[in-house]
Every structure is written in structure tokens, then in C-alpha cells.
Structure 1
Amino acid sequence: MTPFVANLQLSHFRSHRRAKLVFDGRPVAIFGSNGAGKTNLIEAVSLLSPGRGLRRASADEIIRRPEGIGWKVTAQITGGGPGHEVDLSAEPGQPRLTQIDGKTAAQTALARLLRIVWLVPAQDRLWIEGADGRRRFLDRIALSFFPEHAEAVLSYEKAMRERNRLLRDGMQDTRWYGALEGQMADAGARLTAHRRDAIARIVAAQEGAATAFPAAALALEMEDMTTQADFAVALAESRPRDMAAGRSLVGPHRADLVAVYSEKDMPAAQCSTGEQKALLISLVLANARALKAETGSAPLVLLDEVAAHLDAARRAALFDEICELGAQAWMTGTGPELFTELGGRAQYVSVTDNSGASEALFRDDA
């Protein structure tokens, strides 16, 4: 059975003073006016995976105002094996605390409980803005396949920060550089292998899929480095240039995800806004299909305001694909009419603003 969130409780999380919702594994359609607190619900779910969630918010940014006290998210995960209770919390000025079944755990441990993929409006400009956003997008895909990817990314970034500090300080001791470059090479080779493997899996999942969304040809654009030795040599050779720049100029932190609309043989950056959105949806669905093919279980799929960008036929096709996957998809929209094509295949949650506090209530009809 596919794992899903069976119970979600929020305390002083963003606009929600209190919320307690029980789910049965079907897709969840969340609707309400702009600013009512719909996205805050799926942001809470996104924190059940490593990282800072779909908004990349710090712990303090999540605190409900004006109270300014600590926040908490509790989720019951069931299906696909033993159930688990996850507690996430933070006090003002303190880092986020993660507990799994009552025991303190590292954030990276969450990736082994639940696979989550998402698409949010901020990603609509993914193909036309900087490479940093595309790397994060690719790393989310890689993490969905390889839970250990989070540790590789953290290890690489930590070592790179230390190396950059030495470069800015003009440190000449090669022993320090050698030690840090060894760590970067090890983590860099692992995370690059994950990225390339993830791209191959997405491309394979698109081939022959019956879908209303366009396929994309994908590639990882970076220096010609594959092995740990390749990375170590490249870093050592780049020291003089890096010292002049005060930062590391080679490595997987400079990589880029390149996409081409296959049917038109057109780079994603040159496609229309609608085509770019359709390509993103296609990649998220391919990610979910590939995960289900590999693990037997569909991931959670978080789609913020996705229905508003699609006509009725495309919405129906999207909902059909999600239901065919058997995924617990969490979708938001401004009105119930955006989810008409789902019918009784989903649970419906209405979110309203009541004197500055969000209220989330189940609705029997869309």
C-alpha cells in the first residue's frame, strides 16, 4: 500500500492557529480565497521531507504572528509498512527539531519514510531564470530516488563553504585545501552520480507514457568530471583562479539542468509560458511514475495552484493521471470548480480566513 499522511495537526504554523485533519489516502483538493492559508497546509506536508520545504523558509519565518511563539507540525504516516509519527517543531530563534516516533532524528531520516515531489508557482520561471533554481529542482528529483542524496549535498556544501573561507583569507597551506577538496570530491562525485541517474530515470519514465503533457529531453550541463579523482584534480588545478575570485569556480554547484521540448526540438527557455508549465507538470508526473515503478509506491505529490493554469481537458487529464498512480496528491485552488473533474475520487478541504486565523474544514462536495 502506498504511504500517505493519515493525520495532520498544526499548531501556530503560519496563518493556522490550530488545525487537525484526517485523511484516507485519496487526493486532497484544498480551496479558498487568496491568502486564506491553502499553501500553508501543503507547506507543512512538504516539511516531512529533508530541507526547508517548498517555500525554503527558515524556522522563524514559519512562526504565526502576532503571537510569535513556537510552532509544531504532527503527522501520522501510514501504509506501505509500519506507521510512523513525525513531529516537527521550532521555538523562536531556534533551529527546527525533528522527531520520528518520539525520538530525535536528523532531517535526512525523513527521506526514508516518505517520498515527496512538488510543483509551486515560484517554479513557473524555472527555465528562464538562474541555474540555481534548476539545480534545486533536480536535487529534489534525485532525493526522491536516493534518500542519501541529502547527506551528499550537505557534505559538499559544508566543505565548499570552508574552502571558500580559506580562499577569501588568502590561505596558502595546501594541506588544508587537500583535506577539504577530498571531502568535496567524494561528496561531489556521489551527488553528480545521483543527478545523472535521476535524469535517466525521468527520461525513461516519459518514454511510451500515455499522457496529455509534453515530454522533455534532459541533460546535465557541467564540467567533464565523473569520478572522485576527476573532481579532486579539477579542484586542485583551479586553486589559483579560485583564490583570485574568492570562491570555488568548478564543481557540481556550477551544474545546470538543460531541458528541450522534445516534440518541437525547442529549448524550454524559448517555449511559451504555457508550454513551460506543461513541461514542469510532465517532469513531476514522470518523477512519480518512475518512483512507483521502482518502489511499488507512488510518492506524495504537492501541486500548488496548478489547476488554475490548465483548461478543463488538461485538468481532467492531470487528475486522471494522479488517480491512476494512486498518489495522495495535495492540490490547491481558489474555488471548488477547479476540481470538478475529480468528483468523488478526492477529499475536499475548504480554507477560510476567520479574523486573521485560517480555518480548514472538510467538505463533502466539491
Structure 2
Amino acid sequence: MTQLAISELTLSHFRSHKRVALSLESRPLAIFGPNGAGKTNILEAISLLSPGRGLRRAGAEDLTRRPEALGWKVTAVLQSLHQTHEIETWAEAGNPRQLRIDGKATPQTALGRIARILWLVPAMDRLWIEGAEGRRRFLDRASLSFEPTHADAVLTYEKAMRERNRLLKDMVRDPHWYTAIEAQMAEAGSIIQKNRSRTIEELTAAQEAATTAFPTATLALTSAEPIPDDLQAALAGNRSRDMGAGRTLIGPHRADLDAVFADKGVPAKDCSTGEQKALLISLILANARALARDFGAPPILLLDEVAAHLDATRRAALYDEICSLGAQAFMTGTGAELFIELGERAQYAEVTELDGQSIVMQKDTP
């Protein structure tokens, strides 16, 4: 199978890490150590090799190591579809994040053309019981994995909507101020809806085609109010109502991802904590299987504290699926015993803390 994998990773003054240099193989890497040692920071650095703000959505200034605050840098050698790429992303103190691929400055969207990275972090465990914003973000990350330009459509839509909302709050009634903005929202909104619908179709098909120990989720794209086909006309007709609310009340920004535990017919929000975690893992694995077909190689997986809420049987099943998929997965846990089912199929790294600095030691076995 064609591989997508990081062969070298270096962190400099990134979060708790003063300097880390890892030489990696394409098989999974199990990272273990006590809470607060810096395990998740390694995953966050890797997440910056994809478009966006990473798995914590942190600003560039927040990523720098303290107290030095000199700025930070992440470099990687990426093996992607029979090609090798050198990636550098960094931010100097007080400046925005920058990116170079193969020595050339480039926008973040270019990362989506050479890599696919998916992640699952503990904050997502509450995905099904909190507000719709988190579920939209989850769906948009999945959509971005299939269509790298999806982020551009989302940013375009949100920027235009902010401008429209400002006009609404200022009680501007002249339609000429709205026409171009609403046309932009409608165009970007159509792309967003198309990408989201395609993503749900891809995830559904990947779940149905797989034999897995994880539950299948029945997915649907819903909205507080139906999103009309002619969004531009609907926005124009809704101005008076929107003006009363001081914000835009219809559009893809009001969408939600609905999920049901298929075998039980129970909405995800009503499932147990363990079932909710299993549904999330199922969707990440489905996304990975669909990408392996769509992109030509399985994505890189970042699975933070993935063993939480999983019993030994389901944990072993997860590791079997990752290895069968052929994905390079970076997994964290507090103890080496959480990865015993991986055996020689994985690489290992122990992270400890000494004098406020994270220390990473690579190992052949746990």
C-alpha cells in the first residue's frame, strides 16, 4: 500500500519541548508518560502539518515555550505518495505562523494537497452532548480531509457573514449594501453544503463496507431552520427578521451533525460515555478508510488518550484496525500497559518531565 508517513520530526521551543528530534517508521508510535509531561504537545505539533490552527486551535503566540518566548519551529520530512517533502512551520515572537514546503513559502492550503491528518482528542468526547458548533467543526475537519479548499469556502462565508451581521446591527436598510455580501455568502454556502453532504456520504459508505468492532453511526446533516436552495434570495427576504435578531438566522452556520447509534436506534447524545467514545472512533476510522481510497494512502492519525473509556477487547480491536489500515498513528496514554496489545507492531516513546522541560526517549519496546 502507498504510504503517507512522517520519517523525521523536530520540535524547537514548542510548548514544553525545548528540542525534540524523532526518527520514525511508518508503523504506529505509542507515546506514554504521566499527565502534563508533554505527550499531547507532540501530537499538536504534527497537527500543524495540516491546514488550520491544529488540534487545540491555539494561536501562534500560545505555542512558544515559556519563559524564553523566542518563538517556535516544527520541521518534518514527509513521505507522501512516492514523493518526499520537507515541511517547516514556525512563528517568531510576536509574528504570525509561517510555512515552507520544500524550501518555498506557501499558504497553508498547500498542506492539504500533500498530506491528510485526522485527530481524536479528549475534548471531542463531549461532542454529542454540547453545542452544534463543535459538531460543525468536526464535520468541517472531515470535509477538509476530502476537499482541501473547503477551509477557503468556510472562511469566505464567515467573513461575509460578519460583514452582513455588522450591517444588521447598525440597522442599515439600503439593499445595495447587502447584495454583494449575500451573493458571496450564497456561493460559499453552496460549496460548504455540497462538501458536508459528500463527507457524510463518504463516511456512511466507509462504515457500511467495513467489518469492525466499533458501532456504526447513522449520520444526517440537520439545521435549526431548513437551508434553502436559493440562499441568496432567502437572505434578501429575511433581512427584516435578521435585523430584529441582530444576526443572520439562516445558512450553513446553523447546521448540525446528527448521529444515531445504528444498532440500538439511540441518538448519540443519549448513549453512554463509552458508546459515545466508540462512535467517535468509528467515524475517525471510517474517515481514514475513505481517505485511503480517495487520497491513495491512509491518513496520519493523531489519537490522544485514545484508550480512555475502552476496555481491553475494544482497545485491541482498535489497534488491529489501525495496523490493518496501514496508517501511521501517533497515540498517547499514561502508561505503557495501555499499548501492550500492539507488541512489535509499534514504535514507542516515553515522555517525562525534568526541571520544567519535556524529555522524550524512543524505545523498541514498551
TM-score class, shorter-chain normalisation, is: over 0.9
Query: Could you tell me how far apart the structure 2 residues matched to 1:226 and 1:324 are?
Result: 42
1:92 corresponds in structure 2 to: 93
235 and 358 in structure 1: CA distance in 2 versus 1, 3 angstrom threshold: same
1:346 corresponds in structure 2 to: 346
Spell out structure 1 runs of 4+ moving beyond 4 A.
none
1:308 aligns to 2:308 (yes or no) = yes
| Equivalent runs, 1:122-201 vs 2, <5 Å | 122-201=123-202
Where 1:95 maps in the other structure, the secondary structure is: coil
Query: Could you tell me how far apart the structure 2 residues matched to 1:120 and 1:328 are?
Result: 17
2:78 corresponds in structure 1 to: 77
Shift of 1:85: 1.1
1:40 aligns to 2:41 (yes or no) = yes
AA at the equivalent of 2:13:
H
Q: Is the 8 A contact 1:6 1:77 kept in 2?
A: yes
Shift of 1:176: 2.2
Shift of 1:295: 2.7
2:69 corresponds in structure 1 to: 68
2:242 corresponds in structure 1 to: 242
1:327 corresponds in structure 2 to: 327
Where 2:83 maps in the other structure, the secondary structure is: coil
Q: Is the 8 A contact 1:292 1:298 kept in 2?
A: yes
AA at the equivalent of 1:68:
A
Q: Is the 8 A contact 1:26 1:346 kept in 2?
A: yes
Q: Is the 8 A contact 1:185 1:232 kept in 2?
A: yes
Shift of 1:226: 6.0
Unaligned stretches of 5+ residues in structure 1 = none
Q: Which digits, 9 at most, give the CA deviation of each residue in 1:324-351, with x for residues without a partner? A: 0000011000111110010111111111
Shift of 1:96: 1.0
Query: Could you tell me how far apart the structure 1 residues matched to 2:209 and 2:110 are?
Result: 34
2:231 corresponds in structure 1 to: 231
Query: Could you tell me how far apart the structure 2 residues matched to 1:109 and 1:243 are?
Result: 39
Shift of 1:163: 1.3
2:51 corresponds in structure 1 to: 50
Unaligned stretches of 5+ residues in structure 2 = none
2:25 corresponds in structure 1 to: 24
Q: Is the 8 A contact 1:170 1:243 kept in 2?
A: yes
1:271 aligns to 2:305 (yes or no) = no
Where 1:309 maps in the other structure, the secondary structure is: coil
Query: Could you tell me how far apart the structure 2 residues matched to 1:35 and 1:106 are?
Result: 32
Q: Which digits, 9 at most, give the CA deviation of each residue in 1:107-155, with x for residues without a partner? A: 1111111011111000001000000000000001111111111111111
2:283 corresponds in structure 1 to: 283
AA at the equivalent of 1:345:
R
Query: Could you tell me how far apart the structure 2 residues matched to 1:154 and 1:83 are?
Result: 30
Q: Is the 8 A contact 1:167 1:246 kept in 2?
A: yes
Shift of 1:245: 1.7
| Equivalent runs, 1:205-220 vs 2, <5 Å | 205-220=206-221
Query: Could you tell me how far apart the structure 1 residues matched to 2:244 and 2:92 are?
Result: 41
Shift of 1:24: 1.2
1:299 aligns to 2:287 (yes or no) = no
Q: TM-score, normalised by structure 1?
A: 0.97
2:116 corresponds in structure 1 to: 115
Q: TM-score, normalised by structure 2?
A: 0.97
Shift of 1:296: 2.6
Q: Is the 8 A contact 1:193 1:226 kept in 2?
A: no
AA at the equivalent of 1:327:
A
Aligned-residue CA RMSD in angstroms? 1.1
